[in-house]
Amino acid sequence: MPYTHSPVFVPAQRVEKYNYAIRNIVSHAKMQEQQGKEVTYLNIGDPVLYGFQPPEELIEATVLALRTGNNGYSPSSGKKEAVEAIAEDARCRGIDTTPDNIIVTSGASEAADLVCTAMLNPGDEVLCPSPGYPLYSAIIAKLNARELPYKLDPENSWLPDPEDIERRITSRTKILVVINPNNPTGELYPLNVLRSLADIARRHRLLIISDEVYHKLVYEEVHIPLASLAEDDVAIITIDSLSKNLMAPGWRIGWLAITNSVLIPDVRQAFIKLADARLCAPTAPQFAIKAALNPGKNYIESVMKRLSAQREITVKMLNALPGISCNNPKGAFYVMGQIQLDRFPFHTDEEFVLRLLQEKQILFVHGSGFGTDPSQGYFRAVYLPDASTLNRVYTDLGDFIRKFQ
């Protein structure tokens, strides 16, 4: 009997709930491309696709590392110089941690996976923002744990409501995930909200994952690391990476930093065990971490200048369209748009996104891919493309929706 297509080989059930809308939706765009059409991808937060690059000195450090023979494994928690630089940078930003509480990972994604894998038994619960970045839902599903979505309120700058979070906590709740600046909303959390989140974690003995992969990409306001507010009675894992802050997502370099590891000695050991078994993060770009943590001021300024102009075009043009609105995000490079579905012949956010793709070859991600109700008509748009592309996209979107009025 040949093996192929044997019903004996079916995927494990855990994969059924493993969804990642940001990439899943690309198959629809590929179909457009097969028909010879050119698609404008506003679905994925990859700055390099739109002409951003990491600072030159980081590239040089990585190339030099490769050229000078650093092509072997690194220690599983990361190179000594890298973890020392990360700990020092964290301390300068008010995060209490030490080099032996840092683990360099293959992007922030692996850090999130490692923390959840070390912490969660089947049935354990994780509080996740909704809408939220789907990586967390996917990892939780894979571990047969339970996601407890807590609402981010669109009427209140997409901020979480501490009371809503607290109401959801049960004896099985282990982790509170905070994403700040947030993906998909691009919002930044103020001090009072962060303090309430830390306080909830303290009172209910939750571990906090604070995902801060966009912390350098903030506009008018200042990012406050959640761990900088921690007293000595809350364990916080700050997750960071070079992917967005330094525009190097393909290098797959991220890390986790533990604050108050004395509260979780066994979990810390479990992180190390897991990190050992997967050997290490990519070695060569670890040579760039030190430089990455102190990029020239001009680099971040020029990135923010470009992003700021692109944000302005996006917010202005979307809000000028009949039946469409969006927030004015304070960080990252995403806006949450909303189309009033009852004014159009679409029943769901995904239907709108797919029709727009078919007719104008513009790809957004439907809000329900991040957890909003499909009938609310939310969609996430990336504003990484340059001004002329954004102008064209939103002019085309205007033509598309006016057709229905």
Ligand X SMILES: Cc1ncc(COP(=O)(O)O)c(C=O)c1O
Binding residues for ligand X, per CB under 6 A? 45, 107-109, 133, 135, 179, 183, 211, 213, 241, 243, 249, 254
How far lies 53's CA from each of 45, 102, 139, 249, 303, in Å? Answer: 13, 26, 29, 10, 10
Please report the sign of the dihedral spanned by the C-alpha atoms of residue 191, residue 194, residue 198, residue 199. Answer: positive
> Considering the complex, what minimum distance in angstroms separates the CB of residue 108 from ligand X?
3
> Considering the complex, what minimum distance in angstroms separates the CB of residue 363 from ligand X?
16
CA end-to-end distance (rounded Å), the chain: 59
> Considering the complex, what minimum distance in angstroms separates the CB of residue 135 from ligand X?
6
| Tokens encoding 135 | 């990586």
**CA-to-CA distance for 216 and 236, rounded, in angstroms?**
19
Pairing of strands 146-153, 159-160: antiparallel
> Considering the complex, what minimum distance in angstroms separates the CB of residue 250 from ligand X?
9
Query: Which residue lies nearer to ligand X by CB, 97 or 243?
Result: 243
Q: In the chain, what is the greatest distance between 2 CA atoms, to the nearest angstrom?
A: 65
Query: Which residue lies nearer to ligand X by CB, 303 or 341?
Result: 303
How far lies 296's CA from each of 227, 283, 303, 304, in Å? Answer: 25, 23, 11, 13
Query: Which residue lies nearer to ligand X by CB, 101 or 109?
Result: 109
> Considering the complex, what minimum distance in angstroms separates the CB of residue 75 from ligand X?
20
State residue 232 phi and psi, 5-degree precision: -85, 10
Query: Which residue lies nearer to ligand X by CB, 112 or 258?
Result: 112
> Considering the complex, what minimum distance in angstroms separates the CB of residue 254 from ligand X?
4
Query: Which residue lies nearer to ligand X by CB, 107 or 371?
Result: 107
Please give the helix or strand (H or E) that residue 37 lies within, else none.
none
**CA-to-CA distance for 269 and 264, rounded, in angstroms?**
9
Number of residue whose CB is nearest ligand X: 107
> Considering the complex, what minimum distance in angstroms separates the CB of residue 192 from ligand X?
22
Query: Which residue lies nearer to ligand X by CB, 20 or 404?
Result: 20
> Considering the complex, what minimum distance in angstroms separates the CB of residue 211 from ligand X?
5
Query: Residues 127-144, buried b or exposed e (16+ Cβ, 10 A)?
Result: bbbbbbbbbbbbbbbbbe
Query: Which amino acid, 344?
Result: F
Query: Which residue lies nearer to ligand X by CB, 186 or 337?
Result: 186
Give the single-character DSSP code of 139: H
> Considering the complex, what minimum distance in angstroms separates the CB of residue 390 from ligand X?
20
Query: Which residue lies nearer to ligand X by CB, 213 or 381?
Result: 213
Alpha carbon 145 to chain centroid, angstroms: 20
Query: Which residue lies nearer to ligand X by CB, 241 or 344?
Result: 241
Residues sharing a CB contact under 8 Å with residue 304, sequence separation 6 or more, in sequence order: 217, 219
Query: Residues 9-35, buried b or exposed e (16+ Cβ, 10 A)?
Result: eeeeeeeeeeeebbeebbeebeebeee
Residues sharing a CB contact under 8 Å with residue 220, sequence separation 6 or more, in sequence order: 330
**Nearest alpha-carbon partner for 396 in 361, 367, 345, 344:** 361
**Nearest alpha-carbon partner for 124 in 211, 194, 197, 207:** 207
Query: Which residue lies nearer to ligand X by CB, 314 or 324?
Result: 314
Query: Which residue lies nearer to ligand X by CB, 108 or 201?
Result: 108
> Considering the complex, what minimum distance in angstroms separates the CB of residue 381 from ligand X?
14
> Considering the complex, what minimum distance in angstroms separates the CB of residue 162 from ligand X?
20
